[in-house]
Amino acid sequence: MPELIFQIAIIVAKIVILTFMVVLPLVPVSVYFERRFSAVIQDRVGPNRVGIPLTLFGFKKDFHFFGLIQPIADGLKLFLKEDFTPAHVRKAFYWMAPALTVVPALITVCVVPFGSPISIFGHTEKLVIADLDIGPLFVFSVASLSVYGITLAGWSSNSKFPFIGGVRSTAQMISYEIALGLSIIPVIMYYGDLNLSTIVQQQADHGWLLLPLWGHDADHTFTSKLLFWFPAAIAFLIFTISIFAETNRMPFDLPECETELVGGYHTEYSSMKFAMFFMGEYAAMVIGSALIITLFLGGWSIGFGLDAMVANLHIGDFYFGGLIHLGCFMTKLIGFILFFILVRWTVPRFRYDQLMKLGWVVFFEAALINVFLAALIVAAPQLKGTIIGIGAVLLVIVTAAVIWVAKVSEETPKVLRA
Amino acid sequence: MPSYLFWLFSTVMLIGGVSVIAFRNPVSSALSVVTCFVGLAGLFIGLSAFFVGVIQILVYTGAVMVLFLFIIMLLDLKDEEKAAKPLLPIAAGIALVAAFTVQLIGILSRTPNVIAPNLDKETLAAAASGFPATSKIATTLTQGKLPDVHLIGHTLFTQYNLPLQILGVLLLVATIGVVILSKRQAD
């Protein structure tokens, strides 16, 4: 029994620390980054004034923390606003929708490996809440639940613009889920494992998927890794862009396109309920970046063959290499969030038919062909030369056929009727 | 699986199932189906069938039910919310329930009453001898873990290869059929 209580205590501690002290604070931090970084891009200053108003007490200057406490002020504002429920909404669903967008995004945190195992007094603990053997699938399945929040928000608001926003987001998220799922099949085939911790460990030992420069041996030759770089790069492109669409970020934020839909699915929401949609979007962005980093960019790994050395660093019985890896993971994560923000403020919004075409005609086909290409490359060492040749010819024919079909379907005149 | 988790998830499932028919609003009913599916996925995961449980959520809850909800919202059904109890549908429903009950009893009476072996380290290591020693399945089994994804893939692609391919062709035919039907409607 004490053993069980100890284990439960450790799980609760991991949930509290990793979800509420590592991932959740990233949401206000990324809002701050969004505001400051967009200001830099647009040659403004951005929010830099929030602080202690010392001038009120007769001092010469205010004390501001470079605007770093701006997110707290933003959050406080949203808390203190009037929580207004319009009379025409469907109450139960209207209240349920914001929670349904935040909760799935936070649940998916539990399979992300944040660092290598930490060891104290001979007790080793992995820096992941649930070390599931189906990591990426779990993330997709739980993240696919967040579409309910947006759909219900649009429908329960009982007014036309939110409804159109909700319908748009449902169609968009379901379409891009297919490209998202298909695009990582090459990665899973390459590692032969669905456990995210194992995938990151392999990348630490034998080179990141997109940077395979170290850890060569007989089973992981440099040429094989270099050959796999091409399908991996295609998968990375499709996956990253699909994550943008899946999290409703610019340039795919059609569900809340303010020039057409006022505010989209959250038009009728105010105060903390609106803030929860906001939080859900940013939490989904954080988790999406974490998944991209874990699958393609080495997760917590520092790289260049340094990881085994770092994992062995210790003071007495306390192996603290995992904390350094945690820091490395957070650095990559914040770097990727900055990339998300950079894209948002530089790329203009897509039109809705362009978005659907990109998802169904370009990404779906490209991901499918990429699966065949990756399968050929992974299986090549076990196959005879002639079979590889036949496979390559078949692949070229299929690719040409798909491109031809896409071209032909474009030429037929469209009927302008929905 | 600890029995209290089994009771928790089966209660969730039962509540979801009953509320599907108890609610008048079609959207509420659809969400009850979602609840029921989540409970079912919980039961699968409790039986160490992680892959089946997650696919249950991914396919049925995340895609199929979303489309159901989508259609219900677009149709904006109003008639269903009125209280109406026509006799014929109720009678047909009771007949269906009775038929399924008989079927369930028939299956349960023929199922041998054996307790499945515990998935402990010895059983799993013993099962590993059925696979090539260097394969991923064998190494994972000897470590005392159940490689359920690999096992499902292995079974599907070795024992049921032809049915799997036929299924794929069937699905392709259905997809092409849907595209053609929707195109014809647009013209």
Separation of alpha carbons A61 and A45, rounded Å: 18
Is B186–A145 a contact, with Cβ atoms under 8 angstroms apart?
Answer: no
Q: Are residues B73 and B24 in the same domain?
A: yes
Task: Tell me the pLDDT tens digit for each residue of B105-141.
Answer: 999 888 887 777 777 777 777 777 777 777 777 777 7
Return the residue in B19, B25, B27, B59 with the most chain A beta carbons within 10 A, the one to mutate for interface testing: B27
pTM of the model: 0.87
Closest CA to B50 of A348, A201, A102, A138: A138
Is B51–A134 a contact, with Cβ atoms under 8 angstroms apart?
Answer: yes
* In contact, B157 and B164? CB cutoff 8 Å: yes
Is B58–A137 a contact, with Cβ atoms under 8 angstroms apart?
Answer: yes
pLDDT for position A246 = 84
Chain B contact for A138, CB < 8 A?
yes
The answer to whether residue B44 is domain-embedded is yes
Residue B57: which CATH number?
1.20.120.1200
The answer to whether residue B17 is domain-embedded is yes
Separation of alpha carbons B181 and A319, rounded Å: 63
The answer to whether residue B137 is domain-embedded is yes
Is B61–A415 a contact, with Cβ atoms under 8 angstroms apart?
Answer: no
Residue where a domain terminates, one of B82, B107, B132: B82
Q: Are residues B59 and B4 in the same domain?
A: yes
Helix (H) or strand (E) holding A52: strand A51-52
- Beta-bridged to residue A119, according to DSSP, are A124, A319
Chain B contact for A93, CB < 8 A?
yes
Out of B58, B66, B73, closest to residue A140 by CB: B58
Q: At what angle do helices B65-75 and B26-46 cross, to 10 degrees?
A: 180
pLDDT for position B168 = 93
ipTM score of the complex? 0.82
**Percent above pLDDT 70 for chain B:** 93
Residue where a domain terminates, one of B57, B82, B107: B82
The answer to whether residue A362 is domain-embedded is no
Q: Are residues B3 and B76 in the same domain?
A: yes
Closest CA to A181 of B166, B7, B55, B12: B55
Is B51–A167 a contact, with Cβ atoms under 8 angstroms apart?
Answer: no
pLDDT for position A53 = 75
The answer to whether residue A56 is domain-embedded is no
DSSP code, position B80: G
Q: Min CA distance, B31 vs chain A (Å)?
A: 9
Residues 6+ apart with CB under 8 A from A45: A39
Q: Which domain holds residue B181?
A: 118-187
Chain A residue numbers touching B34 (CB-CB < 8 A): 148
Is the pLDDT at A418 greater than 60? The verdict is: no
The average pLDDT across A199-223 equals 80
Q: Count of domains in chain A?
A: 1
The answer to whether residue B107 is domain-embedded is no
Chain A residue numbers touching B50 (CB-CB < 8 A): 132-134
**Percent above pLDDT 90 for chain A:** 3
Task: Tell me the pLDDT tens digit for each residue of A13-28.
Answer: 888 888 888 888 888 8
Mean residue pLDDT of chain A comes to 83
Q: Min CA distance, A20 vs chain B (Å)?
A: 24
The answer to whether residue A162 is domain-embedded is yes
Chain B contact for A140, CB < 8 A?
yes
The answer to whether residue A147 is domain-embedded is yes
Out of A140, A163, A174, closest to residue B66 by CB: A174
Please identify which residue in the block is written with the tokens 């032909």.
Answer: A408
Separation of alpha carbons B168 and B156, rounded Å: 13
Tokens read off for B102: 């008989």
pLDDT for position B162 = 93
Is A415–B187 a contact, with Cβ atoms under 8 angstroms apart?
Answer: yes
* In contact, A302 and A324? CB cutoff 8 Å: yes
The answer to whether residue A394 is domain-embedded is no
The answer to whether residue B104 is domain-embedded is no
The answer to whether residue B95 is domain-embedded is no
Q: Count of domains in chain B?
A: 2
